[in-house]
A and B are shown apart, each in its own frame.
Chain A
Amino acid sequence: DVKVTQSSRYLVKRTGEKVFLECVQDMDHENMFWYRQDPGLGLRLIYFSYDVKMKEKGDIPEGYSVSREKKERFSLILESASTNQTSMYLCASSTPGTGTYEQYFGPGTRLTVT
Chain B
Amino acid sequence: AQKITQTQPGMFVQEKEAVTLDCTYDTSDPSYGLFWYKQPSSGEMIFLIYQGSYDQQNATEGRYSLNFQKARKSANLVISASQLGDSAMYFCAMREEGTYKYIFGTGTRLKVLA
Q: Which residues of A are interface residues toward B (Cβ below 8 A)?
A: 9, 31, 33, 35, 40-45, 48, 50, 56, 58, 88, 90, 92, 100-108, 110
A-B contacts, 11 listed (Cβ < 8 Å): A9-B43, A31-B100, A40-B106, A42-B4, A43-B104, A45-B102, A50-B100, A102-B35, A103-B37, A108-B44, A110-B43
Q: Is the CB of A102 within 8 A of B106?
A: no
- Kindly provide the distance from the CB of A87 to the nearest chain B CB, expressed in whole angstroms: 12
Q: Is the CB of A42 within 8 A of B105?
A: yes
Q: A100-B33, A100-B50, A100-B52 are in contact. Are A92 and B101 (CB under 8 A)?
A: no
Q: Which B-chain residue is minimally distant from A56 (CB atoms)?
A: B100
Tell me, in angstroms, the Cα distance from A43 to B45 when the chains sit together: 11
Q: How many A-B residue pairs have CB under 8 A?
A: 54
Q: Is the CB of A101 within 8 A of B95?
A: yes
Q: Is the CB of B44 within 8 A of A106?
A: yes
Chain B residues with CB under 8 Å of A107's CB are 42-44
